[in-house]
Amino acid sequence: LEALMIKLAPPVQQRERASGVKKTYDGPAVEAAIEAGELVNYYQPKVRVDTGALAGVETLVRWQHPEDGIIYPDQFIGVAEKHGLINALTQKVLEQAFAQARLWQQSGYELKVAVNVSMDNLASLDFQDVVVRLAAKSAIPPNKIVLEITESQLMGDVRVSLEILTRLRLKRFHLSIDDFGTGHSSLAQLRDIPFDELKIDQGFVHRAWESETLRVIYDTSLALAKQLNMETVAEGVEDRGDWELLRQTGCDLAQGNFIAKPMPADRLSHWMKEWQT
C-alpha cells in the first residue's frame, strides 16, 4: 500500500485557476449551462485507512464552460441557490452520478456514491421522491448512496429539512455531515439526526499532526463521531504526515489529494484499476 501511494500520489499542486479577476456568472447563465448539459461530475475516491480499499467516491460538480474552461462550484452553486436553480442542478448531478455508479457497479466495483446536497434542496418534501425515483431508475440501492450535508447549513430552524433527512434515512439512504467543525451543530441535533458518517473538515486534518490546536479539534471530532457510531472521514489528506495521523488515530476513511484528486469518471476508472493491483 505504501509503495502504491508513492506511485500514485500526485504532487500536491495549487489548483490552477484562471489568473486575474474571477468572472462572475448570473442566474440565466447558470440556468443555460444546466440545460445545455455543461455540468460535469468529477469524482474523488474515499479509501479505507486500515486496508487502503476503495470504499466510495464523492461527486464534485464542475461547469465545463465552452469559453472559460472548468469553473469550480464555489462560482456557481451559490448563484444556483439564489436563483431557484438548485433543484434542477442537484437533479442533474444525481442523475449523472447514479448512471455512473451503475456503470462502475456493472464493472464489479462495490462503491458508495456520495452527492452534495444543499439545504435549499431540503425545503420541500418532493426532494425525497426525486432521490428515490432516480436511484430506482439506475438500480442503485439506497445504502450505496450517501447524501452529504454541510454542518454550517444545519444551524437555525431546520425542521422541514430534518424531516426530509429522517425520511430518507428510513428508506436506507446514508447521510453524511460535511465540513464538521466549521459550523455549530448542537449535540442535541447530532443525536436527533441519524447521520451515518461524519467528515472532519480539511481545515482540521491537513497538518493536524504538527499543530496542537488542529489536533485537539481533530481528536474531539473523531471521538464524538465514534461515540455516536458514525463512520469517520478525514478530508483534505494532503501529505504522508496527514495519512499517518489517520492511521495512528483509527480514522475510518480518507479523502484528499494525497490519495487522488477529483477527476472525470473515465480517468477515475483507470485510477481504480491501478489502485486495485
SS3 call for 50: coil
Q: How far is the CB of 10 from ligand C2E (least distance, A)?
A: 10
Binding at 219: pick from Ca ion, ligand C2E, none (beta carbon under 5-8 Å per type)? none
- Taking each helix axis as running N to C, give the angle between helix 159-170 and helix 126-137, from 0 to 180 degrees, rounded to the nearest 10: 30
- Nearer to ligand C2E by Cβ, of 144 and 199: the residue is 199
Segments of 120-226 assigned E as strands: 145-150, 174-180, 197-200
Please state, as a whole number, how many other Cβ atoms lie within 10 Å of the Cβ of residue 68: 12
- Size of interface with Ca ion, in residues (CB under 5 A): 5
- Nearer to ligand C2E by Cβ, of 41 and 105: the residue is 41
- Nearer to Ca ion by Cβ, of 205 and 245: the residue is 205
Q: Which residue is nearest to Ca ion (CB)?
A: 148
Considering only residues 162 through 201, tell me which ones interact with Ca ion, judged by CB under 5 A.
178-179
The one-letter code for the residue type at 164 is I
- Nearer to ligand C2E by Cβ, of 105 and 176: the residue is 176
Question: Could you give the CA distance from residue 272 to residue 254 in angstroms, rounded to a whole number?
Answer: 15
- Nearer to ligand C2E by Cβ, of 247 and 277: the residue is 247
**Which residues fall within 8 angstroms of residue 198, CB to CB, at 6 or more apart?**
176, 177, 180, 221, 224, 225, 228, 230, 231, 232, 233
- Nearer to ligand C2E by Cβ, of 107 and 111: the residue is 111
Which residues sit opposite 148 in a β-bridge?
116, 176
Per-residue binder mask for Ca ion (CB under 5 A), 200-239, x = binder: -----------------------------------x----
Q: Which residues bind ligand C2E (CB under 6 A)?
A: 44, 60-61, 72-74, 77, 90, 93, 116, 118, 148, 150, 178-179, 202, 235-238, 256-257, 262
Q: How far is the CB of 262 from ligand C2E (least distance, A)?
A: 5
- Contact at 8 Å (CB) between 97 and 110? no
Q: Please report where in the chains the cell 472525470 appears, as a residue.
A: 264
Residues near Ca ion (CB under 5 A): 116, 148, 178-179, 235
